[in-house]
Structures are given as C-alpha cells and as structure tokens.
Amino acid sequence: MITAQEIHSVKLRFGIIGNSPLLNHAIQVAMQAAPTDMTVLITGESGSGKESFSKIIHSISTRKHGKFIAINCGAIPEGTIDSELFGHEKGSFTGAHEARKGYFEVTDGGSIFLDEIGEMPLGTQARLLRVLENGEFIKVGSSKVQKTNVRVITATNVNLLKAVEKGKFREDLYYRLNTVPIYVPPLRERGEDVVLLFRKFTSDFSEKYHVKPISLDEQAQTLLVRYPFPGNIRQLKNIAEQISLLEEQREVDAETLSRYLPAENSRLPMTLPNNQGKSEGMDFSERDILYKVLFDMKKDMNELKKLVLESYQSGGLNQSIIQKHSGLFEDMESNLAPAENKSDNSPNYNVPLVLESQKPSSVDTDEYEDEAIEDIIHEEDDNSLSLEKKEKEMILRALRKHNNKRKYAASDLGISERTLYRKIKQYEIDQ
C-alpha cells in the first residue's frame, strides 16, 4: 500500500504542486503501475501535466537506467512517422541516403512516451499494435523482423472511444493501451491547488529577476480558484508571469487580478487541423457556414414558390396541394386547423395568402403574375448549390442595388473594395 508520505516524496522529486484528492489518486496509480511493464494510457486536457506522470512511471520502474524518449505523435508528419518510430533502410524512399534506427530500436530496454496518441495514423497504429503484442517491428523498406523490449506509455487529450466509433482509432489498440488508465485532472478540478501553483510561479519569477514576489489578497485568491482556466497550468503560469512583470503593487486585489483573466465566454473558436476537419466534413469557414444557412433558406423558399405556382395553376389552395407541401407548415399548426362553419364539405385551411391589394400598383396585374411564374420556373430549374455561383449572384445583386458603385456594394457585402474588384475580375462580371 502506497502511503501519503511516499506520494509526497514523489511530488517533491518531480516538482508537482498540489494536494487535491484527484491529483493524489493519479500519482498513486502511476506509482502502482511503475514496477510493472503494463501499458499505461494517461488522459487529461492539454496543459494539465500529463508528461510529468510518464516521467514518474519510468523513473521509479525497473527500467529507470534505460533510455526514456518522449514523442509528440501529432507533431510528426504522417509520411515520416513510421520511419521515426521504427527506422528505415537505405534507399527505402526518396531522401533515405543511409539506414536509420527508429525510437523503438534506440530505446530497447527503456521506456517510450507517445503523447497525443490519438493523432497517430491508422497504418502506424497497426505497427504499434504488433510491437505491444509481440515486441516485433519491421523497418521501413525492410523485410527483416526485429525484436525490441520497450515499455510504452501513452497520453491523449481526446476521447479515444469516440475516435474508435468514428473509425479514426483502432479498437484493438485502444484496449491494448488502456491496460492501466490514469486521469490527470484539469486545473479547475483541483481547488486550492491553483493558489499554490500561482505562488510557485510568482516565486520562481522573483528569484529569476530579483524582484519582490506577488501576493494575492483573500478575494483575489477566491477569484483565482473560481476561474476555469481552459489553458490549465500553462495559462496560469502565463498570467502569474504577466502580473509579476507589469504590476508595481506587489499585493494584488481581485479587481487587479480580473484584468488578467480573460472573460470565460470569450474563448476564440478553435481551428481544426486540415486532416481532422476534412475527415469529419467540418472544414467550414464562416462564409461557408453562412452559405449553408442561405441554402437551407433557399430550399424552403423554393418549396414555397412551388406551392404558390401550383396554387395559381389549380385556381386555389386545395387540400392535396397543402398535404404535398406539409413540410412548410410544420411550425404553423395553428394555421393548419380546419376552418369552421364552412358551407361546403371540403376542408379549408387558414393559410395566409398574398392579397390582390398587396401587389405592386404600378405594374399591370397580368404582367406581374407572368413575371412571378417565370421567376418560379427559373428557380426550379436552377438548384445548383455552387458556392462560387451563389457568391457571384450576391455580388451582382449588390452592384445592381447600388448602381454599380463598388464602394457601397462592397460595404453592403461586408468585404473590402479591393476584394470586390478581385471577385468582379474572377467572375468576369460586366458592369
């Protein structure tokens, strides 16, 4: 049984600050797993300190005299990660001027820490699974099977089970890695540890630059503990160093501290990596999202126009037409109630129609109806969802609205006049 004193000793050795139960439990699990060769999966948010736990496991294991290498799988290009991990033979690919040993060969007898394991390509995952099950690997460009005796420690900040469901991570590899799970809590779940860490960072800053350390009053400490810190320990250290550098008063109150804490609802939208965005079909810019909304509106408008056209051709809104286009009235149940006290037996509906008095008075009625029908038919024949085509249409409408004055058209479109000029040339728009 691991005692509290042993956990405290590990904290001192590896510079871990804090006394929260979740943190102590994570350290205890790491210490229990260290003497074995079992594979460990460390989970936790980015910046929560997962790499420190991999060092704990290696340093108090029987492999502590062997090599330890930490690798960020997300930072290695997909085309070279196999070569980095397993090595390659001379001439196996363009640029392979000599044979190279991979990390699994170099760390034989030691430990290898694979951070961001969720970013590992599927092909490499299959190779890793073979290492974990048989201790075997093959260099890129070779047919010779080699043996290695490496302790594998992995970490991720994504939900691997969801990645398995989406086909982005091998299920067999997940269960092979998750032999010993360790959860590293984010800063917002560690309570008073935030104040201890802040004090540690400001103390380090004062020693390094020979200034008086910053202290927080009681209200400032309460504010610090309540803040969620989405960037975890990295964000806290950044804020501590900012305050230590910029504040002349070395005792900071809550009002002063609040100026360094970003608003909780002001997080910037995260930009997905290209490979992740494309695989999930979510590589949208703001303009693409706007167009998607417009396309949905266009679809509803086309349905409405079809309804009006059929109504005009049949002489009225009969029951069959309304039932055919029932999707338009899903949120208008009150308007779809049958009208009461009608003399005939056919059901009628209280659907609002365009009144004759609402037609433009300056246009002949027959001409107005002919143009409306022509527009409807034109819209039905043109259902292309091309982004370029819709963009060109919007530019043309803006130019017509402002009598071809690019300055006002650009302002209306929300783009610069220079961008508008480039788009006009791109789409060969005659002004």
Q: Does residue 69 fall inside a structural domain?
A: yes
Helix 286-314 to helix 387-401 angle, to the nearest 10 degrees? 80
> Residue 301: what pLDDT?
74
Q: Does residue 269 fall inside a structural domain?
A: no
> Do 171 and 101 belong together in one domain?
yes
**Residue 353 amino acid letter:** L
Q: Does residue 336 fall inside a structural domain?
A: yes
Note down the domain range covering 8: 4-185
> Do 32 and 163 belong together in one domain?
yes
| Overall size of the chain counted in residues | 431
- Per-residue pLDDT of 1-11, as tens digits, reads 889 999 999 99
pTM across the whole model: 0.60
> Do 288 and 217 belong together in one domain?
no
Q: Does residue 91 fall inside a structural domain?
A: yes
> Do 86 and 157 belong together in one domain?
yes
> Do 76 and 176 belong together in one domain?
yes
Q: Does residue 361 fall inside a structural domain?
A: yes
State how far the Cα of 106 lies from the Cα of 169, in Å rounded to an integer. 26
> Do 159 and 11 belong together in one domain?
yes
State how far the Cα of 223 lies from the Cα of 261, in Å rounded to an integer. 10
Of the three residues 136, 168, 185, the one that is the final residue of a domain is 185
> Do 44 and 121 belong together in one domain?
yes
Structure tokens at 425: 């040339």
Query: What single string gives the DSSP state of each residue in 149-208?
Result: --EEEEEESS-HHHHHHTTSS-HHHHHHHTTEEEEPPPGGGSTTHHHHHHHHHHHHHHHH
Q: Does residue 279 fall inside a structural domain?
A: no
State how far the Cα of 229 lies from the Cα of 267, in Å rounded to an integer. 11
- Backbone torsions φ then ψ of 148, nearest 5 degrees: -145, 150
Q: What is the DSSP secondary structure assignment for residue 109, as one 8-state letter?
A: T
> Do 10 and 126 belong together in one domain?
yes
> Residue 351: what pLDDT?
44
> Do 243 and 362 belong together in one domain?
no
Each residue's pLDDT tens digit in the chain (431 positions)? Answer: 889 999 999 999 999 999 999 999 999 999 999 999 999 999 999 989 999 999 999 999 999 999 999 999 989 988 889 999 999 888 887 777 888 899 999 999 999 999 999 999 999 999 999 999 999 999 998 889 999 999 999 999 999 999 999 999 999 999 999 999 999 999 999 999 999 999 999 999 999 999 999 999 999 999 999 999 999 999 999 999 999 999 888 999 999 999 999 876 544 444 444 444 444 444 444 555 565 566 667 667 777 777 766 665 666 555 565 566 565 555 444 444 444 444 444 444 444 444 444 444 444 445 545 555 555 555 544 544 466 777 888 888 888 888 888 888 888 887 888 788 888 888 788 76
Q: Does residue 267 fall inside a structural domain?
A: no
Q: Does residue 276 fall inside a structural domain?
A: no
- Per-residue pLDDT of 208-217, as tens digits, reads 999 999 999 9
**Residue 233 sits in a domain of what CATH number?**
1.10.8.60
Long-range own/partner contacts, residues 376-384 (CB < 8 A, 24 or more apart)? 376/305, 376/306, 376/308, 376/309, 377/309, 379/301, 379/302, 379/305, 380/302, 380/305, 380/306, 383/302
**Residue 417 sits in a domain of what CATH number?**
1.10.10.60
> Do 348 and 392 belong together in one domain?
no
How far, rounded to the nearest angstrom, does the alpha carbon of residue 220 sit from its chain's CA centroid? 32
Task: List Cα–Cα distances, 230 to 15, 71, 265, in angstroms.
Answer: 22, 24, 11
Into how many domains does the chain fold?
A: 4
Residue 112 class from Cβ within 10 Å (0-12 exposed, 13-18 middle, 19+ buried)? Answer: buried
**Residue 124 sits in a domain of what CATH number?**
3.40.50.300
Of the three residues 185, 202, 229, the one that is the final residue of a domain is 185
> Do 138 and 66 belong together in one domain?
yes
Structure tokens at 81: 């990660």
Short-list 307, 303, 331, CA closest to 317: 307
> Residue 295: what pLDDT?
64
> Do 372 and 391 belong together in one domain?
no
